[in-house]
Amino acid sequence: MLFSNDFAVNYLKKNVNKNALEVLALLQSPNTDEAISMQLDMKVNSVRRILNIMQGYGITNYYVAKNTNGWLSFAWYVNTNKMGSFFDYIKSMKGDEYSAIKDDCNDYFVCKKCYADDNIIFTFDAAYEAGFKCGACGSKFDMISKDEAMALINQDKQKQEAALASMQQAGSNESTVEPAMHL
């Protein structure tokens, strides 16, 4: 359900972490943060940060168990009961073009090699957790200002609107052409 909603997918990638979907995919059944970090070859603190942010949205939660030595273990799961309210929340954010831009952050980072494909802008905290390197290609991130980040978002929005207009225009011309298959 979550993975079929493009806006939700993009929202999680841009506002939580680009690995948020991979973490969610491993929560088909309850799973520990340590197990997730090993499966994804990520630092356990990065996984915990992702899980905690998603818990703030209500889409993840955890069970606590104490072992015989007194250590606590957390088994994380997707909170399907809260998924509807999460979708309502992000629907209300659709008009907010600067949702990825935070008031308390002035330094943003992008991977110049991958940005054209993934359109991901990292906050300082997210870039720091990634070691200021792109997880996809290994390149160092380039720092951009808040204004540059906003300009990139506006540029991306204009491209999306142009693509949508082009698709709508093509759709209105379909009556004279054989039906096209849309993906």
DSSP 117: H
Q: How far is CA 12 from CA 9, 29, 54, 110, in A?
A: 5, 20, 9, 17
Same domain, 29 and 49: yes
Q: What is the pLDDT of residue 9?
A: 84
Q: What is the pLDDT of residue 174?
A: 40
Same domain, 61 and 45: yes
Report the CATH number that the domain containing residue 9 is assigned in CATH.
1.10.10.10
Residue with tokens 């972490």: 17
More confident residue, 107 or 94: 107
Q: What is the pLDDT of residue 27?
A: 94
Return the ∠ at Cα 37 (arms to 34 and 100), rounded to 5°: 120
Same domain, 47 and 109: no
Same domain, 58 and 143: no
Q: What is the pLDDT of residue 144?
A: 94
Confidence of residue 86 (pLDDT cuts 50, 70, 90): confident
For 27-68, the DSSP string reads TSS-EEHHHHHHHHT--HHHHHHHHHHHHHHTSEEEEEEE-T
Same domain, 117 and 75: no
**What is the tens place of the pLDDT at every residue in 141-162?**
999 999 998 898 888 777 766 6
Q: How many domains does the chain have?
A: 2
**What is the tens place of the pLDDT at every residue in 22-61?**
999 999 899 999 999 999 999 999 999 999 989 988 899 9
Q: What is the pLDDT of residue 142?
A: 94
Same domain, 73 and 109: no
Q: What is the pLDDT of residue 161?
A: 66
State which of 36, 67, 96 marks the end of a domain: 96
Confidence of residue 62 (pLDDT cuts 50, 70, 90): very high
Same domain, 14 and 89: yes
State which of 96, 113, 131 marks the end of a domain: 96
The token pair that represents 59 in the structure block:
């889409």
* Residues paired with residue 174 on neighbouring β-strands, in sequence order: none
Same domain, 83 and 133: no
Which domain range does residue 123 map to? 99-183
Please name the residue ranges forming H helices in the chain: 6-15, 20-25, 33-40, 44-57, 83-93, 115-118, 124-129, 146-172
Same domain, 2 and 91: yes
Q: What residue type is assigned to position 177 of the chain?
A: V
Confidence of residue 123 (pLDDT cuts 50, 70, 90): confident
State which of 33, 66, 96 marks the end of a domain: 96
